[in-house]
Structure 1
């Protein structure tokens, strides 16, 4: 427990002075309602997995914004905004921070990184748009790996091949070993295998902690790879 006291975010809770209407989205989602009602403790490495629409991206986006990171991605110094698409959940969250913990961080939000790369070009040459999508993601991560604090990543696998996912795992593992807190949402069984991560499955039931082998994500991928025709026959 002592080691957890220095984490940038030890716990998510509903803000006592700004409660959220449970009848309004995203509080209508079971995982969000669970956080608002009971709070959520975070460890040094936390990975959220679940289907589209389950609420995992909503959670990590709100965490990043409540921490003070730019909602469209980037480091704690990024200031740009184009069109708001995230929920207002961050306005209703209170973060329990470790005393003396870093307030620096990085948010990689896959769906808005193209816009963030364009913003970076207004500050000076970055070369990110001259690379492939996956190369740019990995370049963005590796060149900022000296920033310790809180790293939040929302579905970064959208730009990455298998080898790219493995490269990202290497960077995240190094960050964590140097004391950075990592929070990740993913559909990838590769990224879900991040060593020493606490795995949280997100779904209609809310939030539940799981082992790697028990994740629906992992079981479904194994079944598909063993016999793709079992799934493909239902497409006709």
Structure 2
């Protein structure tokens, strides 16, 4: 298991003096506007926040600065479906560990379809060697359900001793599969892997000893699982569904 000194990505800093304007996107986002640096201390780090807080943009910036394709995949993926990523990576400085990872993947739920399509296209064009899909379980990712194709990547393509950046990997996973993913993360952590995950899932956030960084209109700060809205709201809904529904579904007086 990696310790703080042997993490592949040790910290990320924003070169604020080079930013042209903090009033323009993406530097106007709460996640970026007051961002200076973030140091990683554990093999698993979660970045959480409301929709629009900028957590996906921040993670994308780290991924592209590392060398990943903006739409996801390994370092070797070079396709482009649509140039929609921000320029944030140009202003980031990554502090890498002494030891380089032997594996890596940038997984983002919203563009995973594009990665699956590119794999099928490359396999169709290959005239020699094993098909790329063999590294993903041997079956086209498009021939599986959304959740099954997600999990095929986690189980087959992620091999350990890697840096894995993941944006909302729970998007297509049932609660049971999210628990299975927790187990898979732990297997890979024991194989000296590092994870940085943007998520809304309190199930994933429960990983022991993980760092949780919350993004809101006050910037970024470390929090405990029990202090996140994700945990508090889910717990209230499960413990008192009737009370919560009465509040949510209360009709406006005429």
* TM-score, reference length from structure 1: 0.91
Aligned to 2:142: 129
1:216 and 2:214 equivalent? no
Count of equivalent residues:
233
In structure 2, distance between residues paired with 1:73 and 1:82 = 11
| SS of residue paired to 1:163 | helix
Query: Mapping of 1:69-88 within 5 angstroms?
Result: 69-88=68-87
Q: Secondary structure at the match of 1:213?
A: helix
SS state of the match for residue 202, structure 2?
A: coil
Note the C-alpha offset of 1:147.
4.4
Structure 1 vs Structure 2 CA RMSD: 2.0
Partner of 1:27: 27
Closer, same or farther: CA 103–26 of 1 in aligned 2, 3 Å: farther
**Alpha-carbon distance, 1:235 to partner:** 7.4
Match of 1:66 in 2: 65
Per the alignment, residue 6 of structure 1 pairs with 6
Listed one character per residue, the Cα deviations across residues 124-147 of structure 1 (whole Å, up to 9, x for unaligned) are 263211100000000011111214
List runs of 5+ in structure 2 lacking aligned partners: 124-130, 134-139
How high is the TM-score relative to the length of structure 2? 0.85
CA 1:179 to 1:231, structure 2 compared with 1: closer, same or farther past 3 Å? farther
Matched, 1:190 2:203: yes
Match of 2:126 in 1: none
| Structure with max Cα Rg | 2
Contact 2:160/2:191 (<8 A) preserved: no
In structure 1, runs of 5+ residues without a counterpart are none
Provide the residue aligned with 2:137 in structure 1.
none
| Pick aligned residue for 2:249 from 229, 233, 236 | 233
Q: Pick from 146, 150, 167: which aligns with 1:154?
A: 167
Alignment deviations for residues 33-63 of structure 1 (CA, whole Å, 9 cap, x no partner): 232xx21112321101111001111111111
Shift of 1:118: 0.5
The offset of 1:149, in angstroms, is: 2.3
Segments ≥4 residues shifted beyond 3 Å: 15-20
